[in-house]
Amino acid sequence: MLAGCGTLMPGGNTTGSDGRPAVAAGNGPGVTEDSVKVVFVAVDLDAVQKMTGFQTAPVGDQKKQIQALEDWVNDNGGLGGKKMEAVFRIYDAQSDSPAAEEQLCNKITQDDKAFAVVMTGQYQTNARPCYADRQVLVLDASLYAMNEEFLEQYSPFLWTASFPEYDTFVRSYVKVLDEQDFFDGSKVGVVASDSPINRKTIEDLALPLLKDVDVEPEVAWVDTTDTSTLLQGLDQAGVTFRSKGVERVMFLGGSRMASVFATVAGSQEGFAPKYAISSFDNPSFFVNNPTTIPEGTTDGMVGIGFHPPQDVPDSQLKFPTGEAETSCIDMYAAAGIKFESRESARVALPYCDATRLLKLGADGNSGDLNAATWAEAVDRDGSQFQSASGAGNALGGGGRAAIGSYRVLRFDEATGNFVYEGPEVPFDDE
């Protein structure tokens, strides 16, 4: 059965001589002779919806979903022959802050003593280093931008089974926007999350790529630490863009910026830019909340999509599609869990991806089970993995982010939905 919650305790950390977290010898935390403890972090999305008034498809009983995954793992040999002990924790996203995420990290690493954490709704910059420093494997199921340098810095602890590596995304995003004539000689504004990872990627990669296609953008850096700083930063960005004559807006860094900016920008009289869009921007928000955003916001939206659960309706892509997605839906169905749409499974599918990847690495391991030995197995066998949350596969041989391809994503005014166009294209890694 699912384990309960404990009390708060302080934690420590270890660091190797190269500055990366060191992996202790022997079994990792949460690994016993016959079990492996895995914590699943869930966000109370119903509470968030009540607070914001935003409409979204219900995700169902997340605790029951995790129980179904635990049952599937243990009915199929466990994790390398050991029973998976799943712990369910709810995170209050309404009070998200660095302190709150560190507190959660303390609970998971010190009270639960987890081997791995499957993480959703965690967007503060201190969260992932906290787990890595404490030897806990992180399977990140949040739409959080992680570039190769960041993944390498916290190797072998940090992975995502459902999303792409950020730098490859940025290369492909700029390329597609140029090919789709999005820039079209217009003044471009970039709304950017002001995090160390995102700032480095934008300054070292995105801006040079934009310059190569004759775009010199106005960049608005936004502090996404909490709701107050987010709203203040986006409001100022709208004022600045309007005063500078910006006609095209793109977002880099995720963190709920696109939906909130579009809403805030509606108060700027005479400011009606054309928007770029990607899976990091939660396209389904714009479809589900037409009265929240200004009229005309979605006109001409184009970009790239890699996450069908929040990109396109089932009418555009049959649900389920492919072996991986079908397998995950079957796991839940065996426990009596059904989803009204792919969007309703937008949390359940990444949970399933993380569980399947955990099992792949554990089953391929012999001897002690820790983050390093698990990573060795995934580096060797990762090419066998296919995410249920997106296309392509970028694992194996050192890859830490699973999604390997994208499609052009465009808003279709005739259907009132986003649609995919053209074939799947591998992310540009050079």
Written as six digits, the tokens of 275 are 């928007």
For residue 42, which of 121, 113, 112 has the smallest C-alpha distance?
121
The whole-angstrom separation of Cα 170 and Cα 286 is 22
pLDDT at 47: 61
Domain at 166-305+407-426, CATH homologous superfamily: Response regulator (3.40.50.2300)
Written as six digits, the tokens of 57 are 């498809």
Q: CATH number of the domain at 35-163+321-399, please? A: 3.40.50.2300
How many Cα atoms sit within 13 Å of 317 on the Cβ side?
29
CB 148 within 8 A of CB 165: yes
The whole-angstrom separation of Cα 29 and Cα 377 is 18
Domain boundaries, the chain: 35-163+321-399, 166-305+407-426
Identity at 119, one-letter amino acid code: M
pLDDT tens, residue by residue, 211-262: 999 999 999 999 988 888 988 999 999 999 999 999 999 999 976 799 889 9
Query: In DSSP terms, which residues pair with 401 in a beta bridge?
Result: 160
pLDDT at 21: 59
pLDDT tens, residue by residue, 129-186: 999 999 999 999 998 899 999 999 999 999 999 999 999 999 999 999 999 999 999 9
Written as six digits, the tokens of 328 are 């995950």
- The residue-averaged pLDDT of 351-380 equals 97
- The residue-averaged pLDDT of 304-310 equals 97
pLDDT at 14: 37
pLDDT at residue 1 greater than cutoff 90? no
The residue with tokens 């807006």 is 249
Query: In DSSP terms, which residues pair with 139 in a beta bridge?
Result: 118, 159
pLDDT tens, residue by residue, 4-54: 332 222 223 333 434 555 576 799 999 999 999 999 999 876 665 565 667
Q: Confirm whether 35-163+321-399 and 166-305+407-426 share one CATH topology.
A: yes
pTM above 0.85, yes or no: yes
Other C-beta atoms lying within 10 Å of the C-beta of residue 64? 15
pLDDT at 357: 98
pLDDT at 16: 41
pLDDT tens, residue by residue, 48-107: 556 566 778 899 999 999 999 999 999 999 999 999 999 999 988 777 788 989 999 999
> Angle, to 10 degrees, between the axis of helix 62-75 and the axis of helix 348-363?
20
pLDDT at 11: 28
CB 263 within 8 A of CB 158: no
Identity at 65, one-letter amino acid code: Q
Q: Measuring CA to CA, how many Å separate 317 from each of 311, 321, 413?
A: 10, 7, 18
The whole-angstrom separation of Cα 197 and Cα 404 is 20
User: Alpha-carbon Rg of the chain, whole angstroms?
Assistant: 21
Mean pLDDT of the chain: 91
Sheet hosting strand 137-140, strand order edge to edge: 83-91, 35-43, 116-119, 137-140, 158-159
pLDDT at 15: 39
The whole-angstrom separation of Cα 397 and Cα 365 is 16
pLDDT at residue 365 greater than cutoff 60? yes
- The residue-averaged pLDDT of 178-200 equals 95
